[in-house]
Amino acid sequence: MGKIGYFLVMNPSSRSGKAKNTCERILSEFRNRELKFDYRMTKGPDEATTYSREAIKNGWDVIVAVGGDGTICEVISGFFKDSKQINNAKLGVLHIGTSPDFNRCHHIPVKLDKAIEVLLNNKTKLIDVGKITYMKSKIEKAISYFGSNVNIGMGPLIANRANSRHRKYLGDFLGTFCASLGSLVNFKGLYLKVKIDGTKTNFNCLLNLTVGKDPYLASGMRVFNEIASDDGRFYILSIEKRNLPSILLNIHKLYMGNFLEYKGANINYGKDVEIDCDLSCIPVEFDGDARGYLPAKVEVINRVLEVIVE
């Protein structure tokens, strides 16, 4: 058997550009170990998906996402076409971004030396992947795949605020927390029309709707739920907007404790979720980046991706 071939899809702009030196360190480590590898550096949106898909078609054994959760998401999208995996490549992760929610979920180390050792040990598990169909613009429909969560409501606002300036100056946890507070002040709440496995469930005055596999979101908030990474289901978490004093008094439950202790929170489970709104241009965020608009359809693909874990 020949050497395992690793293709690294690297995002040097992670951590507000601080990841560039880490990328060089990783390449040096791979060269010193005389590994079989190649790499591409991304410069803009969706390039990670393109590089991932090309590498898979070219027969690389392991596609390594080197970046944050957004890079991981784009790399995962490169694995699939028409809900089927293009080839039998494995996903590896070297997290050099801000919030390592995907890594927390699947117990993949964040510390670089340990993460490289785990990657080279080649121990894997099969996980579910989410498929989302959404509007890229008012007239253009798009399909992407994701590993963690979809958010509608405050999620996209928090992501935009945190990614644009808060995390750069305040760090991951505090930056996201401040972005959350800033988003709360003027957010009026959404009325969403939702179908979960074909059953209509309308939500009034929501702060946020999360459809996810990953119990972690927004830099470590924990959603306690009853699903596993390979059971073919999503959790669907809805958080109602209440009066501002009530939200501020309970924000520790939303951010650092159990979401379900907050009176406006409710959780459902399903494998097929359709989401729409009477308002136009309602943004959709998944795996840390706002990428499009409603209406959206979110589907789970069961045990379809082999990911390298500890």
Sign of CA dihedral 291, 178, 176, 172: positive
* CA distances in angstroms from 19 to 66, 112, 207, listed in the order given: 9, 12, 33
Average pLDDT for 143-152: 96
Cα–Cα–Cα angle for 293, 247, 268, rounded to 5 degrees: 55
* pLDDT beyond 70 at 20: yes
Domain ranges in the chain are 5-122, 131-302
Arithmetic mean of pLDDT, 200-221: 85
Which residue bears the tokens 């579910």?
128
HSE (CB half, 13 Å, CA atoms) of 258? Answer: 7
Asked if residue 22 has pLDDT above 70, the reply is yes
Q: Give the pLDDT score at 285.
A: 94
Q: Convert the pLDDT of each residue in 185-197 to its tens digit.
A: 566 789 999 999 9
CB atoms under 10 Å from CB of 22, counted, come to 18
Rounded Cα distance between 36 and 245, Å, is: 57
Identity of the highest mean pLDDT range in 97-101, 175-179, 221-225: 97-101
Q: What homologous superfamily is domain 5-122 in, according to CATH? A: Probable inorganic polyphosphate/atp-NAD kinase; domain 1 (3.40.50.10330)
- At 71-103, the pLDDT tens digits run 999 999 999 998 889 889 999 999 998 889 999
Taking the domain 131-302, which CATH number applies? 2.60.200.40
Q: Is the peptide bond before 295 cis (omega within 30 degrees of 0)?
A: yes
Helices (runs of H) and strands (runs of E) counted in the chain: 9, 18
> Does 5-122 match 131-302 in CATH topology?
no
Confidence of residue 173 (pLDDT cuts 50, 70, 90): low
d(CA 55, CA 240): 43
